[in-house]
Amino acid sequence: MIYKRFSLRLRIFVSMIVLVLAAFVLIAIVTIIQYKEEVSDYHKDRLERKEEAIKENINYVIRTTTFEVVTNQIPLIFKDKIFEIANIHNLQINLYDLEGKLLKSSKESFSIDSIQQIIPPDVLKKLINNPDKRYVDKIIDGKRVFQSSYSYLTDTKFKPLAILNIPYLEEEDFIAREHYDFLARLGQVYLFMLIIAILFAYLISTYITKSLKTISDKMYRVRIGERNQKIEVRHAGEEIHNLVSAYNSMVDQLEESAAKLAAGEREHAWREMAKQVAHEIKNPLTPMRLSVQSFEYRFNPEDPDVKEKTIDFCRSLIQQIDTMNAIASAFSNFSNMPAQNSELINMAKVVKLALDIFSEDYIRFQIDSDNIPIKFDRTQMIRIVTNLVKNGTQAVSEINQPKILVQIQEKQDAVILTVSDNGIGISELNRDRVFEPQFTTKTSGMGLGLAMVKTIIENYGGTISFVSKPEKGTVFTVVLPKTQ
């Protein structure tokens, strides 16, 4: 997570700000929920109060009327009174008989058609089954909410006389304004609190991390083999004090072990150097031994070209001896192995010379030209070719029809050397480790050949890469600039 990458100081700062914002959001949510509940309760109570007041006026009319108090006389009893009651309470009043048919309405006669003439059967059923003999039907029309209250009217002997219907529109403008004003005032308070929280969080985070910053600065300056200063922190908490004590103890132990560590590193470096020297010397010895055995087996004193073959054979051995001598000289001087010595060479001739020590007849050599000049160290060029071809011969050792092809292509500003084989290939698991020092898949060898080849090539500004397919073969490609 990105949050884990933040410093402790920034984490404390952000956490406090987030806490304040979370509290604001939580209170805002609770306020909105409370507002909705208050609105619902307000309209419910208001409708009940209006209904009770209207019923009192209606009961008064029923008690004082000169007409017979029966259902079919309701239109006459409330002929004019219903309008007075409606105007007093500023609500529409509808009176239905006990079967749900409209008897009288306070709405104007010209708009009477817009009033439902019969109470819906489901509403009438719920009214009859309600123990309180009262039912409120809620209707939502777009953004407007209507409540329609139904209740029974009784005569002086509490006998059901008619059904009173009061349509009520929920008007929320006043409550909404109050709610928005409250949220605005709350927002101003929280904005002020947020500014205070930012300043407070900055001071607190700075104070808490001040001691930790001192410790981290000291740790960054810790060096093996040098005199490291201890930390002195005053007025620190128990945790910081323990951390400082652990650091000071580490400094003491570091000084005691610095000498031993330096000695161990020097010994390890010499061992690694010795392994590399042994590996590099062993590389030319193997083909030299094979060449000598092959020469001994094929030598014929009566061959007319015996002198020429002997000279070529000696030249190959002398070249490998020169390579080993360069390695020994580099080791004795404790410098790069071997030392880089750029010279103008004919790459085609040097590569052919390096291939002469291999007796395998499946090794083929192709070049674009017999003369390919390049600035490079002759000895190191031979080492590159020897290592790559030797790896190829090991890869095809179990192949029925082995093939190794060495090619040189000359470009305008670079020379490309490729060594391809049809061997076992390199597995996906090992591809990222091919050029690592001391990595090898063979039972013998130190695994330093390709690592050193890569170092040599990169020292000359070149690149080495490979493409491999399991059981099909591998192609190593070396790109070298012509001039250094």
**284, 414: one domain:** yes
**Residue 384 belongs to domain with CATH number:** 3.30.565.10
Residue 467 lies in a domain: yes
The answer to whether the CB of 262 falls within 8 A of the CB of 254 is: no
Residue 260 lies in a domain: no
**168, 317: one domain:** no
**10, 159: one domain:** yes
Question: Whats the size of the chain, residue-wise?
Answer: 484
C-alpha span between 385 and 400 (Å, rounded): 24
> What letters, b where the CB count within 10 A reaches 16 and e where it falls short, cover 440-477?
beeeebbbbbbbbbbbbbeebebebebebeeeebbbbb
- 346 three-state secondary structure: strand
Cβ within 8 Å of residue 123, ≥6 positions away: 135, 137, 150
Q: Which of 143, 177, 211 is at the close of a domain? A: 177
pLDDT of residue 331: 57
**Residue 22 belongs to domain with CATH number:** 3.30.450.20
Place of tokens 């105007």: 87
**21, 162: one domain:** yes
For 221, the token pair is 């300056």
**293, 405: one domain:** yes
Across the 484 residues of the chain, what is the mean pLDDT of every consecutive 10-residue run? 62 80 82 76 80 87 85 86 86 88 77 68 87 82 76 85 83 64 79 84 76 69 63 63 73 69 59 68 73 73 76 78 68 51 88 88 90 90 90 88 93 92 86 69 51 86 91 92 76
CA distances from 401 to 396, 421, 473 (A): 8, 11, 12
pLDDT of residue 452: 80
Residue 165 lies in a domain: yes
Q: Please, is 265 exposed, middle or buried when counting C-beta atoms within 10 Å of its C-beta (0-12, 13-18, 19+)?
A: exposed
- 476 three-state secondary structure: strand
DSSP H helices in 65-157: 74-77, 81-89, 121-129
CA angle 147, 148, 152 (to 5 degrees): 140
**408, 290: one domain:** yes
DSSP 3: G
**314, 459: one domain:** yes
Within 10 angstroms of residue 300's Cβ, the number of other Cβ atoms is 9
Q: Which of 177, 192, 226 is at the close of a domain? A: 177
Rg of the chain's alpha carbons, rounded to an integer? 51
Q: How many domains does the chain have?
A: 2
CA angle 282, 284, 285 (to 5 degrees): 60
Cβ within 8 Å of residue 353, ≥6 positions away: 315, 316, 319, 382
The answer to whether the CB of 389 falls within 8 A of the CB of 404 is: yes
Q: Which domain holds residue 428?
A: 278-481
Residue 7: what are its φ and ψ, rounded to 5°? Answer: -70, 160
For 357, the token pair is 């020590």
**170, 285: one domain:** no
Residue 383 lies in a domain: yes
C-alpha span between 192 and 209 (Å, rounded): 26
Residue 405 lies in a domain: yes
**353, 474: one domain:** yes
Residue 228: what are its φ and ψ, rounded to 5°? Answer: -95, 135
Q: Which of 145, 177, 209 is at the close of a domain? A: 177
**319, 466: one domain:** yes
Query: What's the pTM value of the predicted model, to 2 decimals?
Result: 0.37
Residue 202 lies in a domain: no
Cβ within 8 Å of residue 317, ≥6 positions away: 288, 291, 292
The answer to whether the CB of 354 falls within 8 A of the CB of 390 is: no
Residue 388 lies in a domain: yes
Residue 417 lies in a domain: yes
